[in-house]
Amino acid sequence: MKMILTLLICSSVGNTCLPPYQIKESYKDTFDCMTSGYQKSIDKLSEIGREEVNTHGIYIRFDCREYDEPKVST
């Protein structure tokens, strides 16, 4: 079982969200996915910047979901 991480960046002022962004890497378990979700959210907020975050009420939600890796036929 692998986990995939999806980030959702939203504005509470505009009451809108950008389309979900799926992280390209996969994670071996829920713990790794969740800790990465928190870190990537912090990184993205820093990238956006204090002024934009405060002006637009930016917040980030994320989700970790299981997925089955495709089976390779031989």
* Domain locations in the chain as residue ranges: 2-67
Q: Name which residue leads in pLDDT, 24 or 69.
A: 24
User: Is residue 64 pLDDT above 80, yes or no?
Assistant: yes
Report pLDDT digits (tens) over 7-50.
999 999 999 999 999 999 999 999 999 999 999 999 999 999 99
Name every residue whose Cβ is closer than 8 Å to that of residue 60 and which is 6 or more positions away in sequence: 7, 8, 9, 10, 41, 44, 45
User: Which pTM does this prediction carry?
Assistant: 0.84
Task: With beta carbons less than 8 A apart as the criterion, state whether 61 and 10 touch.
Answer: yes
Can you give the pLDDT at residue 1? 78
